[in-house]
Structure 1
Amino acid sequence: MSTVQVSVDRTSRTPLHVQLAQQLEAAIQGGDLPVGSRLSNEVDLAEAYGLSRPTVRQAIARLVDQGLLVRKRGVGTQVVGNSGQVRRSLELTSLYDDLSAARRKPETEVLRFGVAPASADVAAALQCEAGDRVLRLERLRRADGEPLALMRNWLPPEMLDTDPSTLAERGLYELLRAEGVRLKVAHQTISAQPATVEQARLLSEEPGCPLLATTRITYDDHGRAVEYGSHLFRASRYAFEHTLVHR
């Protein structure tokens, strides 16, 4: 029976079962839990990781839903796949944070950095006037050396004091938190759009292939709009997942 080392952060906003699932997924992707290996039972895993049995059960169910694990009667829980796809829960976290938590190596190439006049849509998102100065960031994010996302962000200039080299080494939300910004809530939309020639070149895809497109407006604990993001993800390498609750 296989068990891998896991470390959960009980102060994090990310639920414990999600943290456990992310680390087990990283172990599968990295080969520490190879295809065909069997996990220890829920009771043993809960004891080994210092977690409750329901938490372990939720984490395993999450990986079963992703097609990485399968439950077989008389056999137990077995590793059956390595999808290679980054799966991200719909929570107020950054891609950099999520890749790090999943033990994927995030790399950032800063394509554009500087102050620019706000367009009409940026101004509406950041609650300022069109033409006002905003900080514009454009980055290519890689995971384990493979292109994953094109990320564009706009922020009020006073919100963040950084430079391209720092931005290449650290996540945007991490930098905002270091400035004392308390991220509270975000409004996000998800759609699809075809890749332009330039986008396809940067993401190692074919022109016209479908990309996952997101826009996000993030607010702090005072209700101020602190960041507007417009990101493109490779649909072949990236997926969002969320849980629906009946009310």
Structure 2
Amino acid sequence: MKKISIGPLYLQVRSHMKSRIESGEWPEGSVIPGENELAEFYKVSRVTMRTAIKALVDDGTLVRKAGFGTTVAMNRSSMSNFTLVRSFTNEMNEMGLPSKTMQVELRMIEADVILASIFGIQPGDKLYNLRRVRGTVVPIQYCDTYLLPVVEIPNDKEILTGSLYAFLTKQNVFFSHFEEVVTAVRAPKPIRQALLIYDEYTPQLKRKRFSYDDRNKLIEYTETFYHTEHYEYRTEIFYRK
């Protein structure tokens, strides 16, 4: 395979595969070649090939179907037509850094007045609450997600530490648009402790994300705090024809 960029080999393979999808060589819904065939084509090991495919599955570009193979995701407005912000895992991968979920907790809660107002529901209505601390070798991100129970989220470590959007897409939950607000704040003490921030006066980035389905219904609301000594907030906006 001709190298197309500098960086980990699996990222080069992933980028080239994505180009083949966007060019129409592999149409939506089509089954891509098998792992062995692709590894031979790209002249890489099966481990590298498997990692590249997993990255495309995690970002919603590919879909694995048991007993059927790996297919190109169908054109749905939430995942195919545009991308607003890369996932934390993909951001770290593209920087060549390892990423992991250091703490995770999933619970079902009753909406308080503030959450009920945000979602347009009644106080006491049920919401999923997923809290995660994620980072590399140090904690970087404290993520507090609230989600309408439109599907059941199993208390499964692999799912909870992976991409929430990839899981929802596999459950046929799609988003039409997102709204984000980014501010500089002093993080509350429990969050500073989770992120190992020892100076209470150091401002941190706080991002609020509102995720809507194709009926303009708010499905997910997330508050994320970033350790500014270890993170730059990045966005990537493009339209996939």
**Same fold at TM > 0.5:** yes
How many residues end up aligned between the 2 structures? Answer: 165
Q: Which runs of 5+ in 2 are unaligned?
A: 23-82
Q: Distance in 2 between matches of 1:118 and 1:92?
A: 27
- Deviation per CA, 1:153-200: give whole Å up to 9, x if none: 011123342214133431111111111112221111011111333222
Kindly indicate whether the alpha-carbon contact (under 8 Å) linking 2:100 and 2:135 is maintained by their aligned counterparts in 1. Answer: yes
Alignment correspondent of 1:55: none
Provide the secondary structure at the position in 2 that maps to 1:158: coil
Alignment correspondent of 1:216: 209
1:243 CA drift (Å): 8.2
Q: Distance in 1 between matches of 2:99 and 2:222?
A: 18
- Deviation per CA, 1:65-110: give whole Å up to 9, x if none: xxxxxxxxxxxxxxxxxxxxxxxxx924332333344443221134
Correspondence 1:161 to 2:153: yes
Q: Which amino acid is 2:120 matched to?
A: Q
Question: Given the superposition, is the C-alpha separation of residues 130 and 93 from structure 1 closer, same or farther in structure 2, using an over 3 Å criterion?
Answer: farther
Question: Given the superposition, is the C-alpha separation of residues 156 and 204 from structure 1 closer, same or farther in structure 2, using an over 3 Å criterion?
Answer: same
1:152 to 144, 147, 161: 144
Alignment correspondent of 2:120: 127
Q: Which runs of 5+ in 1 are unaligned?
A: 13-89
1:130 CA drift (Å): 1.8
Kindly indicate whether the alpha-carbon contact (under 8 Å) linking 2:86 and 2:236 is maintained by their aligned counterparts in 1. Answer: no
1:242 CA drift (Å): 5.1
2:88 to 83, 95, 105: 95
Q: Distance in 1 between matches of 2:209 and 2:108?
A: 20
Between the aligned residues of both structures, percent identity stands at 17
Kindly indicate whether the alpha-carbon contact (under 8 Å) linking 2:104 and 2:160 is maintained by their aligned counterparts in 1. Answer: no
Q: Distance in 2 between matches of 1:243 and 1:158?
A: 28
Correspondence 1:176 to 2:173: no
Q: RCO greater where, 1 or 2, for CA within 8 Å and sep 6 or more?
A: 2
1:205 CA drift (Å): 1.6
Provide the secondary structure at the position in 1 that maps to 2:190: helix
Alignment correspondent of 2:227: 234
Instruction: Compare the two structures and name the one with the higher strand fraction.
Output: 1
Provide the secondary structure at the position in 1 that maps to 2:207: strand
1:205 to 183, 197, 206: 197
- Deviation per CA, 1:116-147: give whole Å up to 9, x if none: 0112232223232121010011110112x221
Q: Which amino acid is 2:155 matched to?
A: D
Computing the radius of gyration over CA atoms, which structure comes out larger, 1 or 2?
1
The TM-score with structure 2 as length reference comes to 0.60
Give the alignment of 1:21-170 within 5 angstroms: 91-143=84-136, 145-170=137-162
Alignment correspondent of 1:57: none
Kindly indicate whether the alpha-carbon contact (under 8 Å) linking 1:109 and 1:168 is maintained by their aligned counterparts in 2. Answer: no
Q: Which amino acid is 2:107 matched to?
A: G
Correspondence 1:225 to 2:218: yes
Kindly indicate whether the alpha-carbon contact (under 8 Å) linking 1:160 and 1:175 is maintained by their aligned counterparts in 2. Answer: no
Q: Distance in 2 between matches of 1:243 and 1:98?
A: 10
1:220 CA drift (Å): 1.9
Question: Given the superposition, is the C-alpha separation of residues 153 and 232 from structure 1 closer, same or farther in structure 2, using an over 3 Å criterion?
Answer: same
The TM-score with structure 1 as length reference comes to 0.59
Q: Distance in 2 between matches of 1:103 and 1:173?
A: 22
Alignment correspondent of 2:29: none
Give the superposed CA RMSD. 2.6
